[in-house]
Amino acid sequence: IMSYLSLFIMGLLAYLETKAYLATRTVTDLALDTNRDPRVRVNFNITMMDLRCDYAVIDVVSVLGTDQNVTQHVTKFSLNADGVRARFAGRNKQQNDIALSDEKVTETIEELHENGEDAVSLDEQTLEFAKNENEYLFVDFYASWCSHCRDLAPTWETLAEVMTDAAEEKVDEQITERMERGGRPHHEYSDEEYDEAVKMELPVFIAKVDC
């Protein structure tokens, strides 16, 4: 009797495991009330440790039950054991839906540098220091011979200027509040102290590294 019972339990476990393996379930769903854009971009992350992502199939089901396979429109990226994406593996080099610069920035990089550089140039050592000292750090890794990098340079410098302006505005507000509380007509900070205070209040530290 025990042998038959053991065989029954083993068969039941095998059946339940197979059923669970073949079963599908919805982990996340996305619904749009209205949309006038001709295309909708959706970013998602599916991690399969023991299965190549080449075998992943993506279907989109509308609220009306219409099923459409969109696998061919999905860009897949390979990750190493540490979860870091390969630099170019799996990337669509013909992708043309990413803006390489802001068309609203009309000034040249030389014109933007007339009043100084706001995007800080870093090397290998100072980059590590900046990573440790700043909560938010944006770095442009560029090459002087790269045309796309040259196109991005004015946009990147403008972003750095926006961060500096935001920091200066915050510092000025703090100085004004202290002056009002102390009843003093002007502050006693030097230009060096003011610049250091601005650096401390940067929302995001904008930097660049010449590769």
Residue 45 has pLDDT above 80, yes or no: no
User: What's the longest Cα–Cα distance across the chain?
Assistant: 98
What are the tens digits of pLDDT across the range 61-116?
777 778 888 777 777 766 677 767 666 555 555 556 667 788 899 999 999 999 88
d(CA 145, CA 153): 12
State the pLDDT at residue 152.
Answer: 92
Residue 40 CA: distances (Å) to CA of 34, 35, 168: 11, 8, 38
Q: How many helices (H) and strands (E) does the chain have?
A: 5, 5
**CB 52, CB 36: distance < 8 Å:** no
State the pLDDT at residue 34.
Answer: 77
% of the chain at pLDDT higher than 90: 25
What are the tens digits of pLDDT across the range 153-184?
999 999 999 999 998 888 888 888 877 776 66
Residue 201 has pLDDT above 90, yes or no: no
Exposure string over 3-25, b if 16+ CB within 10 A, otherwise e: eeeeeeeeeeeeeeeeeeeeeee
State the pLDDT at residue 141.
Answer: 93
> Model pTM?
0.54
